[in-house]
């Protein structure tokens, strides 16, 4: 188990999560916090695609998808991709693709 401890003068400060190079690491070696942050960013991309669906063409929707959803999801997927919580990220990706194609 990894423990993050920082000493500030004489007091000890224990941290449950730490953000390092875009990855949120926690002391239990779980990816829940990191995946939640990814989902929040992807949800904003989902809203952008939904708002532009009726006004934009397919190329515009693809650009929004790759800029807001795909890049956010792809970053360091090699680390968190096997997590049990990663299923929620991939479900959100499917939702965005369905919105782009107009499928139910």
Q: What is the pTM of this model?
A: 0.73
Mean pLDDT of the chain: 83
8 Å CB contact between 35 and 42 = no
Q: Is the pLDDT of residue 47 over 70?
A: yes
73 CB contacts (<8 Å, ≥6 apart)? 38, 42, 89, 93
Per DSSP, 65 falls in state I
Q: Contact 4/14 with Cβ under 8 angstroms?
A: yes
Residue burial 82-101, b: 16+ Cβ < 10 Å; e: rest: ebebbebbeebbebbeebbe
- Domain coordinates in residue numbering, the chain: 31-101
For range 67-92, the mean pLDDT:
87
**Percentage of the residues of the chain whose pLDDT score is greater than 70:** 86
Distance CA 56, CA 78 (A): 33
pLDDT of residue 26: 75
φ/ψ (deg, to 5) at 95: -60, -45
- Give the pLDDT confidence score for residue 14 in this predicted structure: 66
Looking at residue 44, what is its pLDDT? 92
């Amino acid at each position: 188990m990894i423990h993050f401890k920082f000493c500030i003068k004489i007091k000890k400060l224990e941290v449950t999560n730490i953000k390092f190079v875009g990855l949120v690491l926690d002391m239990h070696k779980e990816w829940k916090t990191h995946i939640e942050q990814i989902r929040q960013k992807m949800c904003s991309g989902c809203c952008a695609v939904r708002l532009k669906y009726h006004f934009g063409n397919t190329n515009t929707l693809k650009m929004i998808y790759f800029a807001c959803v795909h890049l956010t999801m792809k970053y360091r997927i090699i680390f968190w991709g096997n997590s049990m919580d990663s299923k929620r990220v991939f479900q959100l990706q499917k939702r965005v693709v369905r919105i782009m194609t107009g499928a139910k």
